[in-house]
Amino acid sequence: MASRGRAAGWGSAVAGALSVATLPVAIYVTRFSEDYELLHAAFALPVAALLGIVAVVLARRSRRLDSFVLSGRPSRAAQVGRVLGVIGLCLVASGLVALGVYWLLEYVGSRE
């Protein structure tokens, strides 16, 4: 039981790190590409959101599996994964707000 909890904790940490890194990497790639613009980096939002959700779910699973062990404390990897997953979801939310503002300004600018 404890090894599955630890594995879920490490999976949570990896998914959380990938969630946090997805949007900056997508923005970086669009900077050096002639075919893609910054707005195309928005296609990475669902990927980052999915990875953030996976990180939080795996951290919860690790916590539940570790509760059966005598220590009763979640592993550090699960705690890190949960924090990174939440940060990744916050980055997705800020990206969605930025897209919403962009589209609103485009709409208002096209009406004039």
Predicted confidence band of residue 7 (pLDDT cuts 50, 70, 90): confident
Separation CA 108–CA 106 (nearest Å) = 6
Q: What is the pLDDT of residue 62?
A: 87
- pTM equals 0.85
The number of angstroms, rounded, from the C-alpha of 9 to the middle of its chain's C-alpha atoms is: 16
Q: What is the pLDDT of residue 50?
A: 97
Predicted confidence band of residue 110 (pLDDT cuts 50, 70, 90): confident
Q: What is the pLDDT of residue 99?
A: 93
Quick check: helix, strand or coil at residue 41? helix
Across residues 15-42, what is the average pLDDT? 92
Quick check: helix, strand or coil at residue 46? helix
How far the first Cα of the chain sits from its last, in Å, is 64
Q: Domain residues of the chain, as ranges? A: 2-111
